[in-house]
C-alpha cells in the first residue's frame, strides 16, 4: 500500500469467536482527514473491527494496513500516532483526571515534563474539565469520565483516532460539542474512525460504513448511500386549494403510492418510483389544483439501514 | 522485545499512586500479616 492519503486499508478481513462471525469479509479504505463512521446496532462487529485495526486482535483471514504497516505488527512509532478511546471508560479510578491524562501522555512517550504538563492543561481546557482536574476518576460523573477518556486518547496529539462509541451516555449538548471538536480535528489533518449506534450521528461523518452481523452492508457518504436507496422516499405536495376526498381516493387508486398524511392543502405520500412525481403534478394540474410546493423527503437512516439489511441478508426481498 | 525503562517507571509510579489512595489495601497489607502472625503463634502455643 503506497497511497499516502490512505490511512487504513483492509482486505477481506474476517474474525470469528467460536461460532460467531464478528467481522465478515470487510474491505475498506479510510483516507486522511476524514471522519469515518461505523454505524450499526450493538453486536454488529464495530468494536471488533476497531480492535483488528488497532492490532489488538489478530484476524482469522484477510489483512489490515494502518499507515502502510500490517496492523498485526505495528511498529512503536506508528502506535504512537494512534489514539484509542475504548467503549468502556478505561480510566484508573483511584487517579485524578489530571493524573490519568498525564499517565497516558507518559505511556505514549512524552518524556519532557514541561511539554507533558502543557499538553495535559491544554486537554483539560479544551474539554472543559479543569474544574474536575484534581478529583479522582471514580467520583466523576459519567459525562466527565467520558471527556477524561477522550483527553487520555488525544493527549499525545495522534494522527489517527479510534473512538468507540464516544457519545454513549452523554447529554445532547455535550454530544454536539464532541462532534464540533471532532470536525476541528479532521480539519487539521487528523483522521477519525468513530463507532456509534445512534443512526442520526451518521450525518456528522464524511463517510459511513453501515455494519450488521459483521458485514459492511453499505459504504459511502450519506448522500451516496441515499442515492442507492429508491425505497422509502416521501413526497409532500402543497396545493393552493383544499384537496378534496374525491381527489385523494383517485390518487390512492391510480398511483403506486401510499398515503401517509393528509391535511387541508397538503398531502404526504410514500413512493418507490421517482417518475410518479411528474405524473402527480400533471394529475393535480388537470384537476385545476395549482401545486404551490413539492418537496421530496429522503428515507430516514433507520429505513435505509433496514433496506440494506434486507438486501444483504434476504436478497430479493427488498420491499 | 524492547522494554522502555520510562514506560516501566510510568506504570510503577501509577501503581504506587493508586495504592497510596486505596486505604483498604494499605490496611490489608499491614493488618493482614499481623493477624496471621498472631494466629500462627496462638496455634503453636495451643499445640504445646
Opening angle at CA A185, ends A2 and A138, nearest 5: 115
A172: how many CB neighbours lie within 10 A of its CB?
8
> A-chain residues within 8 Å CB-CB of B15?
none
| Rounded distance between C-alpha atoms, residue A280 and residue A297, angstroms | 16
Does residue A258 sit in the same domain as residue A217?
Answer: no
Query: Count of CB atoms within 10 A of residue A303's CB?
Result: 17
Distance CA A149, CA A141 (A): 12
Cβ contact, residue pair B18, A107, below 8 Å: no
What pLDDT does A106 receive?
94
Nearest CA in chain A to B8: A107
What's residue B1's pLDDT?
56
What is the rounded CA–CA span in Å between residue A104 and residue A121?
Answer: 14
What is the distance between the alpha carbons of residues A148 and A154, in angstroms, rounded to a whole number?
Answer: 10
Give this complex's ipTM.
0.70
Domain boundary, last residue among A227, A243, A269: A227
Q: Are A219 and A240 in the same domain?
A: no
Of B2, B4, B17, the CB nearest to A99: B17
Give Cβ neighbours of residue A281 (< 8 Å, ≥ 6 apart): A237, A291, A294
User: Based on the domain organization, do A288 and A206 belong to the same domain?
Assistant: no
Q: Give domain status of residue A102, yes or no.
A: yes
**Which domain, by its residues, includes A12?**
6-227
* CATH number for the domain harbouring residue A194: 3.40.50.300
Q: State the CATH number of the domain containing residue A270.
A: 3.30.70
CB–CB of A15/A59 below 8 Å? yes
pLDDT band at residue A315 under the 50/70/90 scheme: low
DSSP state of B4: -
From A182's Cα to the closest Cα of chain B, the distance in A is 29
A53, A103: one domain: yes
Q: Is the pLDDT of residue A173 over 90?
A: no
Q: Measured between alpha carbons, how far is B10 from B2 in angstroms, rounded to an integer?
A: 16
Query: What's the pLDDT tens digit per position in B2-40?
Result: 678 899 999 999 999 988 888 888 888 888 899 999 999
- B18·A94 Cβ contact <8 A: yes
Contact A103 B22 (CB under 8 A): no
pTM of the predicted model as reported, rounded to 2 decimal places: 0.79
Largest CA-CA distance found in chain A, in angstroms, rounded: 79
Domain count, chain A: 2
CA distance B40 to chain A (A): 34
CA distance A75 to B12: 24
- For residue A266, list its beta bridge partners: A238
Chain A / chain B CB contacts < 8 angstroms:
25
What share of chain A has pLDDT > 70, as a percent? 97
- All 3 cell numbers of residue A278? 411528474
Per-chain mean pLDDT for chain A: 88
In percent, the amount of chain A with pLDDT more than 90 equals: 50
Residue A309 pLDDT: 83
Residue-wise pLDDT tens digits, A116-151: 999 999 999 988 899 999 999 999 988 899 899 999
- Taking 50 as the threshold, does the pLDDT of residue A102 lie above it? yes
Average pLDDT over residues A249-254: 88
Q: What distance in Å separates residue B36's CA from the closest CA in chain A?
A: 28
Amino acid at each position: 500500500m503506497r497511497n499516502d492519503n490512505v490511512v487504513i486499508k483492509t482486505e477481506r478481513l474476517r474474525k470469528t469467536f467460536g461460532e460467531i462471525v464478528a467481522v465478515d469479509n470487510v474491505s475498506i479504505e479510510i483516507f486522511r482527514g476524514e471522519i469515518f463512521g461505523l454505524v450499526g446496532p450493538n453486536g454488529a462487529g464495530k468494536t471488533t473491527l476497531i480492535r483488528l485495526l488497532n492490532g489488538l486482535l489478530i484476524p482469522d483471514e484477510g489483512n489490515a494496513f494502518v499507515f502502510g504497516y500490517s496492523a498485526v505488527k505495528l511498529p512503536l512509532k506508528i502506535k504512537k500516532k494512534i489514539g484509542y478511546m475504548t467503549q468502556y471508560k478505561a480510566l484508573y479510578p483511584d487517579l485524578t483526571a489530571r493524573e490519568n491524562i498525564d499517565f497516558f501522555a507518559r505511556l505514549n512517550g512524552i518524556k519532557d515534563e514541561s511539554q507533558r504538563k502543557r499538553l495535559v492543561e491544554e486537554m483539560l481546557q479544551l474539554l472543559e474539565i479543569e474544574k474536575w482536574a484534581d478529583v479522582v476518576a471514580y467520583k466523576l460523573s459519567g459525562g466527565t469520565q467520558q471527556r477524561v477518556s477522550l483527553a487520555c486518547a488525544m493527549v499525545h496529539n495522534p494522527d489517527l483516532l479510534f473512538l468507540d462509541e464516544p457519545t454513549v451516555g452523554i447529554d445532547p449538548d455535550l454530544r454536539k460539542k464532541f462532534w464540533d471538536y471532532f470536525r476541528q480535528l479532521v480539519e487539521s489533518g487528523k483522521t477519525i474512525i468513530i463507532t456509534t449506534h445512534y443512526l442520526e450521528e451518521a450525518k456528522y461523518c464524511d463517510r459511513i460504513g453501515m455494519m450488521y452481523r459483521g458485514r459492511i452492508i453499505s459504504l459511502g457518504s450519506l448522500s451516496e448511500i441515499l442515492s442507492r436507496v429508491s425505497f422509502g422516499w416521501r413526497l409532500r405536495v402543497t396545493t393552493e386549494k383544499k384537496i378534496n376526498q374525491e381527489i385523494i381516493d383517485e390518487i390512492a387508486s391510480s398511483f403506486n403510492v401510499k398515503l401517509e398524511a393528509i391535511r387541508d392543502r397538503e398531502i404526504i405520500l410514500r413512493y418507490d418510483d421517482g417518475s410518479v412525481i411528474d405524473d402527480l403534478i400533471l394529475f393535480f394540474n388537470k384537476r385545476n389544483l395549482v401545486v404551490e410546493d413539492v418537496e421530496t423527503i429522503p428515507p430516514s437512516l433507520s429505513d435505509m439501514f433496514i433496506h440494506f439489511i434486507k438486501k444483504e441478508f434476504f436478497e430479493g426481498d427488498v420491499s | 522485545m524492547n522494554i522502555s525503562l520510562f514506560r516501566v517507571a510510568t506504570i510503577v509510579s501509577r501503581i504506587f499512586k493508586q495504592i497510596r489512595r486505596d486505604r483498604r489495601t494499605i490496611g490489608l497489607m499491614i493488618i493482614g500479616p499481623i493477624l496471621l502472625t498472631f494466629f500462627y503463634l496462638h496455634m503453636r502455643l495451643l499445640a504445646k
